Each structure stands twice: as structure tokens, then as C-alpha cells.
Amino acid sequence: MPILYHGTHIGAALIAENEGLKSTNKSKFSTTSDKSNPDYTYFFKDVKDAKTYAGGVSKRIGLPPSVLEVDVPEKGLKRDFGIAFGEAYMRKGGIPKDKLKRV
């Protein structure tokens, strides 16, 4: 399984640490854009890109940024070409809490 990074804000990161990382349509604290598919979770290959994304989210939400390191199953993982920077990936569904940690 590859290690990828999920950029978000501290509120969503705390929820993910307790409940697992959920697709955006299942999250209580979603910050999805109108370009996101709500059945997917999104990742970056490079932690710097995840931090950049998290910074944008945090400005929009008003909470500090946070990045999760995620051990992502390869099955169902595909490139996300809908983001303007970095090497991004998407996967249908969520990730269990034991497969992620805050960085």
C-alpha cells in the first residue's frame, strides 16, 4: 500500500483520527469543493502539496491546517487530474483510523 497525504483542517483531522477518514459525503466536517466527487477521498503523493492544499482549506474554514499521512490500499486508487498542482490521487470510500496519522 502506498503512503499518501491528505490535506485538511484540524477539525476534520481530529474527527478522522477518531472515526477514520471518510469520503466527503460521509464526513460531518466536510470541506469539499464543487469539483470533488462526494464518494471519494483525495490524496497527494507529496506532503508539501498536501500542506499547500491544507493551507487553502484552513483559510476558507478559519481553522488551522492539518495533514494526515495515509496508508492507502492500492485497489481502487486512481490519479486525480482535476487539481491544478501536484500529483493527486482519489479512491472511493474511506480509510480506517489505524491507517492514518497526523504529520
pLDDT value of position 28 = 47
| CATH level 3 topology of 3-102 | ADP-ribosylation fold (3.20.170)
pLDDT value of position 26 = 46
Question: What is the Cα–Cα distance from 58 to 73, expressed in whole angstroms?
Answer: 27
pTM above 0.85, yes or no: yes
Low-confidence ranges of the chain (pLDDT < 70): 24-35
Contact by Cβ (8 Å): 46, 86? yes
pLDDT value of position 49 = 97
Contact by Cβ (8 Å): 28, 15? yes
pLDDT value of position 24 = 61
Kindly list the domain boundaries of the chain, sorted by start residue: 3-102
Q: Which three cell numbers stand for residue 101?
A: 496519522
pLDDT value of position 71 = 97
Question: What is the Cα–Cα distance from 32 to 5, expressed in whole angstroms?
Answer: 16
